[in-house]
Structure 1
């Protein structure tokens, strides 16, 4: 299942096509389904749905609930875990409940809101329920706050405002309860935004990342704890 109605449709079409080609290369019978209008009909005798959807509808528990109702198995986490993990505020609260440290934050939904008190500049703004860094904005000064907030709100609904943490960006995958090697993400220019994620050659990925054994294990353990915090599942990717 690929494409779909979200703002990440074009990326999903590309990744879904790559998955379909790989599965056919392994000898599987594959049908490509694009729920562009949020509706779909699966071929008879479908064994499993490989979810290559990105963003809203595909990652927020919506399509998972539809497939559960049909009794058709699918890849990835279930409806409840997907819904919780896709909501940045709810996911942060769940992680805090397991002692995972996250940046200081607040939530804003008013376009006319002033600079939040109690948070130190610079700030990072992200729509609460979006993926692929859609609506990601950096606010370095009070003067930049109004425009940054307006742009982030265009991503839809509420905006999560966090104090920016400077450091190395990494991600760790977890499959079947086992953490994979840590990957370091290094954009060649600017932040790891939508363009740098999906423009070939714009970002370097180092696997395994150059951390010592202790730091690597701490990152992997934090990833496992984050997955447990949102309800568990058989596979996930956790970013730091």
Structure 2
């Protein structure tokens, strides 16, 4: 089967995407697949390249990758692709909408407000939530444009910086606790990974610099593990996720808070999802094979 690997893109996460794409290409089973690298530099330069492809493995991150738009284009062309569909991708990319859905389903998530203008920030709400506080783009990933603010002045500076990447900014309660991530493959929760960043939070350098964070498979206490698995599957069903996704959480005082859902998690050999799959018993090549298999069934 011919598999096109789409990478690059137009978001601030292009470099991360290219690395993901290269490692997917390197680890796909060459005996099973004819692999076609497809590098995107603008929104539509890939269309002719995929029209005759039997399957597309999406190795994009950020806007025009995780937000449902490229999924919609591939569906209109009748080309099968990896991972979640248009609706799930769009919902999970929008942190504000995601958090509203979490709240409506009784899933705990840090308190937040949305800001669109650095001169129209309601500091009284922020002061009530308390400092420090997280400032980040509403639709984005890899913690690009994300800071921890300790004062009104830093909030405003953070909003100004985040507005370079998005026109809506999330100002969110900072919860100090144990950060974990829960990969799900075809509706099954894989081994949980604990994340202990060297910095104050899991920022860009923590995610991609060597030694930026300690990431390890953990066995949670039974009660917490059951709660984490229950919440993960509730997210899976509520957002109509399919094939694979990764849910980021914080545990504090035995309460579980969902931060966000990643519908196109990093897929290098050192990324969180492949680490979890390896602990489950799937090496990287087998994981990629499963993703293709489950995507074609969907």
Q: TM exceeds 0.5?
A: yes
Question: What residue is the counterpart of 2:25 in the other structure?
Answer: 20
Question: What residue is the counterpart of 1:103 in the other structure?
Answer: 110
Secondary structure at the aligned position of 1:96 is classed as helix
1:239 aligns with one of 242, 245, 248:
248
CA distance in 1, matches of 2:202, 2:139: 18
Q: Normalising to structure 2: TM-score of the pair?
A: 0.76
CA distance in 2, matches of 1:231, 1:43: 26
Does the 8 A contact of 1:172 with 1:239 survive in 2? yes
- The reply to whether residue 202 of structure 1 matches residue 207 of structure 2 is no
Question: What residue is the counterpart of 2:225 in the other structure?
Answer: 216
Question: What residue is the counterpart of 2:202 in the other structure?
Answer: 192
CA distance in 2, matches of 1:108, 1:23: 42
- Equivalence map 1:76-225=2 (5 Å): 76-118=83-125, 119-207=129-217, 209-225=218-234
Structure 1, residues 167-222: CA drift from partner, whole Å, max 9, x if none?
A: 01110011111111110011123321111111122111111x24212212211221
Does the 8 A contact of 2:187 with 2:236 survive in 1? no
Secondary structure at the aligned position of 2:144 is classed as coil
Consecutive unaligned residues of structure 1, counting only runs of 5 or more, are: none
2:62 aligns with one of 37, 47, 55:
55
RMSD (Å) for aligned C-alpha atoms: 1.6
CA distance in 1, matches of 2:8, 2:243: 23
CA distance in 2, matches of 1:212, 1:25: 41
CA distance in 1, matches of 2:60, 2:162: 22
2:53 aligns with one of 46, 50, 55:
46
CA distance in 1, matches of 2:211, 2:32: 31
CA distance in 1, matches of 2:124, 2:237: 32
Q: Normalising to structure 1: TM-score of the pair?
A: 0.94
Secondary structure at the aligned position of 2:166 is classed as coil
Q: Name the structure where strand makes up a greater proportion of residues.
A: 2
CA distance in 1, matches of 2:121, 2:18: 39
Secondary structure at the aligned position of 1:155 is classed as coil
CA distance in 2, matches of 1:48, 1:60: 19
1:30 aligns with one of 32, 35, 43:
35
